Structure 1
Amino acid sequence: MAIETWRIDTQHSSIGFTVRHMVVARVHGRFTRYEGRLFTNGDLLKAQAEVKIEAASLDTQVEARDQHLRSPDFFDVGAFPRVIFHSKRVQAAGKDRYVVVGDLTIKDTTREVAMETEFLGRVTDPYGTERLAFSARTSVDRKDFGLTWNKALETGGVLVGERIDIELDVQVVKAAVVEKAA
């Protein structure tokens, strides 16, 4: 049985997040440096994925906020430079839809998360490179990962929401095929 290894094409992918700000608005952010691999024998229900994100690469387009998010109040990128996801299992959820369940590690805390995932297709680009495309999303409570800093607002509520919505749009390119003994 052949195992295909695919790697994330970071030039054609994105990893983003949103969080409530001051109760009524949303702040959008993204990570600009990451790597990932997908291992499959052609059956996506048996696929395995891993993604490693450089936490310091977060970008909300406001440098002062980004510096605060990189600080010990939030990601503490000096002590915990990576956010890591390792899939554990894949469940069917409809035509070209899956739930990818895996371990997400932020700082020194690992929690199981379920990512609603859509397989967008398989193509060969004009240069002969095979590509797969996926869209995935999940939500996590940031306090579950030790990201607890906040400020109460005079009008009620808090400065930073607890729920973080994470969204990935990913293209992977075939990196290798390895024949495994049956």
Structure 2
Amino acid sequence: MKRIIASIATITALALPALAPASTWNIDPDHSNVGFKVRHLMVSNVKGNFEKHTGVIDLNDKDITKSRVEVTIDTNSINTNVQKRDEHLRSADFFDVAKYPTMTFVSKKVAKAGQDKLKVTGDLTLHGVTRQVVLDVDGLSKESKDPWGNIRRGTTASTKINRKDYGLVWNAALETGGVAVGEEVTITMEIEMIRK
């Protein structure tokens, strides 16, 4: 009988770590940034960001590949520090925020990509179009407790998309050749998150 009880205890002890849920973290919008850059007039890059965004990350430190990410970005919160340009970007020529008020990213796969690097594959939905993208992610920082007792971690993720793939096709031809707005957009997310 003692052997049976001991065996059950051993099996339970071995099973518990596997059954333990991943820790859940909320993105801290006050200390995170979702930014982008795109070529302008074939001569320079214009940068901007989205000031409103939320996200949840389920982390599995035992097996990081079993982690999950979900982010929602308010397209109306776009800010390039030029009001007239921001209004144009919100219009039907670009984001059409009245019809598509958010863009989302939902992960489907997390893979290790070298020392402290990850590749997170997921669906990016923008302007009513969903396409698969791969985020290049720097390894997560160690946990840190802030002065108010919150546990925090941070990371950086980036990817490149072609805006035309999402129906953002507006442009203007230049007299010298080329176009006013580049097609490739680099997206960078500086993320700080708080454990629930």
TM-score scaled to structure 2, two decimals? 0.87
Provide Cα deviations, 1:133-177, integer angstroms capped at 9, x if missing partner.
1101100000000000000000111000000000011011011xx
Q: Any idea what SS the aligned residue of 1:154 has? A: coil
C-alpha separation between the residues in 1 aligned to 2:140 and 2:67?
15
Higher relative contact order (CA 8 A, sep 6+): 1
Say yes or no: does 1:14 pair with 2:8: no
**Any runs of at least 4 consecutive aligned residues in structure 1 with deviations exceeding 3 A, and if so which?**
none
Deviation at 1:125, TM superposition (A): 1.9
CA RMSD across the alignment? 0.9
What residue is the counterpart of 2:113 in the other structure? Answer: 93
More helix as a share of residues: 2
Provide Cα deviations, 1:87-144, integer angstroms capped at 9, x if missing partner.
0011111111000100000011000000100024122223221111110110000000
> Matched residue pairs, number?
175
Provide Cα deviations, 1:63-98, integer angstroms capped at 9, x if missing partner.
110000000110000000001000001111111100
TM-score scaled to structure 1, two decimals? 0.93
What residue is the counterpart of 2:162 in the other structure? Answer: 141
- Contact 2:38–2:183 (Cα < 8 Å) also in 1: yes
Provide Cα deviations, 1:26-84, integer angstroms capped at 9, x if missing partner.
10000000100001232322110000000000000001100000001100000000010
C-alpha separation between the residues in 2 aligned to 1:19 and 1:93?
26
Equivalent in 79, 94, 97 of residue 99 of structure 2: 79
Unaligned stretches of 5+ residues in structure 1:
176-182
C-alpha separation between the residues in 1 aligned to 2:21 and 2:150?
18
Unaligned stretches of 5+ residues in structure 2:
1-19
More strand as a share of residues: 1
Structure showing greater radius of gyration is 2
C-alpha separation between the residues in 2 aligned to 1:85 and 1:107?
13
